[in-house]
Amino acid sequence: METVSAATGDIVTTSRLVWALIVPLLGSFLVSLSGKKPNLRESFSIVSAVILFSMVLSMVSPVLAGKTLYYQLFKILPGVTVSLRADAFSMIFALVASSLWIAAAFYSMGYMRGLHEHAQTRFNTCFAIAIFGAIGVAFSDNLFTMYLFYEIVSVCTYPLVAHHQDEEGYEGAKKYIVYLTTTAKGFLLPSLALIYVMTGSLDFPHNIHVGMFPADANSALVTMLFIFCLFGFAKNGVMPFHHWLPGAMVAPTPVSALLHAVAVVKVGVFCTTRVMLYGFGVDLMNLLNLGIPTAYFVGFTVVMASVIALTKDNLKARLAYSTVSQLSYIILGVCLLTPHGITGGLIHIANHAFSKITLFFCAGAIYVATHKKNISEMSGLARTMPFTFGAFAVASLSMIGAPPVAGFVTKWELLVGTIESGSLGILLVLLASTLLNVGYFAPVTYKAFFGKRPPGEPFEGIKEAPLSMVIPLCTASLISVIIGIYPNFFMNFVKAVIG
Amino acid sequence: MDFLIMNEGFPLLSTIVFLPLAGALILLFLPGENVQRIWAMAVTSVNAAISLPLYSRFDLTTAKYQFGEHVSWIPSLNINYTMGIDGISLLLVLLTTLIMPLCVLGSWTYIKVRIREFMICLLIMETAMLGVFMALDFVLFYILWEAMLIPMYLLIGVWGGPRKIYASIKFFLYTLAGSVMLLVAIIALYLKTGTFSIPMMMGQEYASNFQIWVFLAFFLAFAIKVPMFPFHTWLPAAHVEAPTAGSVILASILLKMGTYGFLRFCLPITPLATLSLGPYILWMSVAAILYGGFTALAQSDMKKLIAYSSVGHMGFVTLGIFFLNRQGLEGAILQMINHGVTTGALFLCVGMMYERTHSREIADHSGIAQNLPIFVSFLTIFSLSSLAFPATNSFVGEFLVLAGAFSVNKIIAGAAIPGAILAAAYMMRLLQYVLFKGPGRPDLADLNVREIVTLAPLLCFVFWIGLAPEPFLSVMHTSVDYLIQQVDVAKTAQIALNVVP
């Protein structure tokens, strides 16, 4: 290890980062080879998930001590490298993605076997590669590396979305890939080239203030690039490029859970916020007045997606639109450009992940136990599936932002941030969205606990889903509560980001 | 002869050029089909091996032509046998020598009749192509340029598909029409300068009107070869009917002749015309990129899809060339190599499937991922490379071209971006069918060792260029800088001319 002193603390060159990438990649390789032995295959998944999580955990203490871990893999052109970096910002996402992979690995074992799904080897292989991509995004040191892993995630999740290989699956997957590659090629590729032409480099600086651009950069061009980056990372679900997300819900539920509540969509918001804070920098965004208008723009997504969620009877579709809405919370918070706003946005990466994965896990458990997809058919089910619906209720409280669940921390910080920035409109957006959240989550829980079973559909034969599903979903909802009561674990990283 | 660094000792370039020809002569007397195959393989492999010192002994610090050879040929007309390579042609020479053994391997079982004649055509083709990249005398260049036509005509016309006669004649006529214009330009330049030496024609102050006409003659010849929209219609026909090796040679090397011509002749010999007509060619390149992309999106035949994608990819090359800056030019040259690697590999893949299914339709190969995992892995990586996925070779080339483009003209650069989207669209569409849709083909066997060996070297280059392109870019720097300087001198002279009167 060699240590180089830098303006923002120490930069430590370490190959640990590379190993963190090799683990899921190697895992996917072993999984693909062990297709004929399901038990061996699943244990490869779980073991790699555990190793990855422990490797990410081992980076916590150096990062919290103010160090930045760094490793350069390849030099493509002058100023364009494939380099990895673990700083406080990357740790938030890396911890979330790697810890929830463990839960999802257990859960998908129960789900896929419970439903006797086909092509489980392909499924598990692609799943591991997707995590590889997500970890790569979390640890990317520059825009090129980020783009590289972003595209890897797009491509390797395609087979997951198209998993069922029926007409609906193809349609959803087609929409998925068309939206994601078109926006990436159409917006990100020219942005990369333009930024390279303007600055001669694609490296992110080490704090959130300075940004990549020279002081004399053409402000119209920078504004255009900012818009390109907002839309280019379309995995962030900002309207109008959000349609792929509900479309991707044709995938098996573990995919929806980990990828479309955690890894894929968080890759989108992570990239967006990384580029906003580190690429453009708070100072430049303030100077060009890019913050509040963007906050209003994504505020539209927050409200609109919630309104659409109200109209959906399919539980996964409702959760999908809820995700669209909640993702924009993160961008909205960051765009407030005040310390509390940024805190609220970034902490929501973790808070939303744990709560939303619980909700998707519950939707999958309900489907495995009852083969019901629609909310209207779930009346009274809580009496036979108390753990699943209990977890669901807790997680939906988090989405609403009620104490003591994680979502409350977000909402608190966001509200303080809004008041700091003095924009009344954003305050109204947050309040309206909270009410709408109640509007589409409360009926689900209420009907499940207090509703009557429809005539002719007795309780006989309905019981909780297998333990390998119930335990992960209860764990995830428990974590939602814990990080609501003790938010400091993730808050430390956010504070380190803000500096 | 100050432009040429003479080769001391062993005449490396002549050996590389004429070894395949000598091999072809010996092949005339070899009995037995397997012996003939192995002989062709041996000759092309040895040629690839002896071409490697060109890279290791290449002097990065000079823009002069290296490994030079100069022999007087027809003194009364001042025609000489002059050969040499610089940073622009070096990689193309290596691409040619390295791709030929793969062509032989790819034709191993594909070609079932007249093996001897087929291999002889391949070897003669190699001699002609290598000579074109090395020739520094215009007559020598022209003879070799024309010499490529005949073996290629035969490759398509004898071993091609159902419409081989139509395709081969179309190919022949198109290229011949271009060549005639090239000949006119050569004679015009000879009458002005009294020499056929290509480097001595550079840097002369021709009248701008004369330059325009010479440039247009050059342009027609090379634009047909590239092919640029709207001179491209021979390409899909030729590709579809050609045998695998023919398609690979066409895509990987023959198309590069056109862009090589732009770099070697248009820019340094007629710089003023390049400056005044360049902007139109940029828009033609954008048209080619978009047209190629849209047309590829509509194809149901895999070879046609790749053929039209070539039109789009080569559009990026010409785009990079005519922005006349270092990033653009280096990106263009790298993209020429990348296209050779990736498209050559894709044609090899299609050929391997054609041997199994006797069909090139996408629909006949739907869902084969479950039956042929190795093949599909190769196809996926090469398709991703073709759509310029980051960390593959094409991304570096395309990125450099775009960086060069954005630093000069943001509107033209922006207009080319939909081409990048289309590339993703048609390749993803191909992959979606091959990987997923459909019942699969349990009757097909996966790739054998020979086929894996054929594709593996290209796979290495995809990632090598994609992740560490410096060894490939470093050989270009000096020559590209010199090329830009040649154009800039003309630009300054022109400005001076406009100011003085």
Q: Report the percentage of chain A scoring pLDDT > 90.
A: 28
**pLDDT tens digit string along B389-428?**
998 999 999 999 999 999 888 899 999 999 999 998 899 8
| pLDDT tier, A296 (very low <50, low <70, confident <90, very high otherwise) | very high
**What are B69's strand-pairing partners?**
B83
Q: Report the percentage of chain B scoring pLDDT > 90.
A: 33
All residues of chain B having their beta carbon less than 8 Å from the beta carbon of residue A186 are: 417-418, 420-421
**pLDDT tens digit string along A32-87?**
888 778 888 888 888 999 999 999 999 999 888 888 899 998 888 888 899 999 98
CA distance A191 to chain B (A): 10
Q: Which candidate from B399, B410, B417 shows the least CB-CB separation from A186? A: B417
Average pLDDT over residues A115-144: 87
Average pLDDT over residues A279-288: 88
Whether B10 has its CB under 8 Å from any CB of chain A: the answer is: no
**Under 8 Å CB-to-CB from A102, ≥6 apart: which residues?**
A46, A49, A50, A53
Q: What is the largest CA-CA distance in chain A?
A: 72
Report ipTM for this prediction: 0.88
Contact between B470 and A75 using a beta-carbon 8 Å cutoff: yes
Considering only CA atoms, which of B468, B339, B490 is closest in space to residue B401? B339
> What is the structure's pLDDT at B381?
92
Residue of chain A whose alpha carbon sits nearest to that of B400: A193
Q: Which candidate from B402, B432, B437 shows the least CB-CB separation from A190? A: B402
Q: Which candidate from B390, B424, B436 shows the least CB-CB separation from A165? A: B436
**Under 8 Å CB-to-CB from B320, ≥6 apart: which residues?**
B328, B329, B331, B332, B335, B397, B400, B401, B404, B405
Token digits for A483?
A: 């990080």
| pLDDT tier, B334 (very low <50, low <70, confident <90, very high otherwise) | very high
Q: Which candidate from A75, A144, A193 shows the least CB-CB separation from B402? A: A193
The strand pair at A67-77 and A9-13 is best described as parallel
Residue B49 has pLDDT above 60, yes or no: yes
Average pLDDT over residues B359-369: 82
Question: How many angstroms separate the CA atoms of A337 and A282, rounded?
Answer: 6
Question: How many angstroms separate the CA atoms of B352 and B110, rounded?
Answer: 8
| pLDDT tier, B29 (very low <50, low <70, confident <90, very high otherwise) | confident
Q: Give the 3-state secondary structure of residue B137.
A: strand
Chain Cα centroid distance, residue A409: 18
Token digits for B231?
A: 């001179």
> What is the structure's pLDDT at A330?
92
Share the mean pLDDT of chain A.
87
Residue A459 has pLDDT above 80, yes or no: no
Question: How many angstroms separate the CA atoms of A105 and B31, rounded?
Answer: 61
Question: How many angstroms separate the CA atoms of A120 and A111, rounded?
Answer: 11
Average pLDDT over residues A379-391: 85
| pLDDT tier, B2 (very low <50, low <70, confident <90, very high otherwise) | confident
Got the DSSP string for B374-387?
HHHHHHHHHHHHHT
Residue of chain A whose alpha carbon sits nearest to that of B413: A190
**Under 8 Å CB-to-CB from B443, ≥6 apart: which residues?**
none
All residues of chain A having their beta carbon less than 8 Å from the beta carbon of residue B417 are: 185-186, 189-190
All residues of chain A having their beta carbon less than 8 Å from the beta carbon of residue B396 are: 76-77
**pLDDT tens digit string along B265-308?**
888 888 888 888 888 999 999 999 999 999 999 988 888 999 99
Residue of chain A whose alpha carbon sits nearest to that of B466: A76
Whether B52 has its CB under 8 Å from any CB of chain A: the answer is: no
CA distance A311 to chain B (A): 32
Residue A8 has pLDDT above 60, yes or no: no
> What is the structure's pLDDT at A149?
93
CA distance B391 to chain A (A): 7
Residue B496 has pLDDT above 70, yes or no: no
Residue of chain B whose alpha carbon sits nearest to that of A33: B373
**Under 8 Å CB-to-CB from B33, ≥6 apart: which residues?**
B115, B116
> What is the structure's pLDDT at A3?
41
> What is the structure's pLDDT at A160?
85
Share the mean pLDDT of chain B.
88
Average pLDDT over residues B54-59: 88
Whether A165 has its CB under 8 Å from any CB of chain B: the answer is: yes
CB interface of B with A, residues 397-456, below 8 Å: 399-400, 402-403, 405-407, 410, 413-414, 417-418, 420-421, 423-425, 428, 432, 435-437
All residues of chain B having their beta carbon less than 8 Å from the beta carbon of residue A173 are: 432, 436
Radius of gyration over every alpha carbon of chain A, rounded to an integer in angstroms: 21
Contact between B421 and A182 using a beta-carbon 8 Å cutoff: yes
CB B144 within 8 A of CB B131: yes
Element (H, E) at A68: strand A67-77
CB interface of B with A, residues 58-87, below 8 Å: none
> What is the structure's pLDDT at A5?
41
> What is the structure's pLDDT at B1?
63
All residues of chain B having their beta carbon less than 8 Å from the beta carbon of residue A147 are: 390
> What is the structure's pLDDT at A458?
67
Contact between B428 and A74 using a beta-carbon 8 Å cutoff: no
**pLDDT tens digit string along B161-188?**
788 888 888 888 888 888 888 899 999 9
Residue A2 has pLDDT above 70, yes or no: no
Residue A258 has pLDDT above 80, yes or no: no
Whether A186 has its CB under 8 Å from any CB of chain B: the answer is: yes
| pLDDT tier, B499 (very low <50, low <70, confident <90, very high otherwise) | low
Contact between A151 and B390 using a beta-carbon 8 Å cutoff: yes
Residue A4 has pLDDT above 60, yes or no: no
Q: Which candidate from B390, B424, B470 shows the least CB-CB separation from A181? A: B424
Whether A193 has its CB under 8 Å from any CB of chain B: the answer is: yes
- Domain ranges for chain B: 4-499
Contact between A77 and B399 using a beta-carbon 8 Å cutoff: yes
> What is the structure's pLDDT at A297?
92
Q: Which candidate from B399, B413, B436 shows the least CB-CB separation from A192? A: B399
Whether B371 has its CB under 8 Å from any CB of chain A: the answer is: no
> What is the structure's pLDDT at A6?
45
Of B319, B334, B417, which to mutate for an interface test with A (greatest number of A Cβ within 10 Å)?
A: B417
All residues of chain B having their beta carbon less than 8 Å from the beta carbon of residue A153 are: none
CB A107 within 8 A of CB A254: yes
Token digits for B307?
A: 């053929």
Helix locations, A371-498, DSSP H: 386-400, 406-421, 424-450, 467-485, 488-498
> What is the structure's pLDDT at A116?
76
Contact between A77 and B402 using a beta-carbon 8 Å cutoff: no
Question: How many angstroms separate the CA atoms of B123 and B21, rounded?
Answer: 6
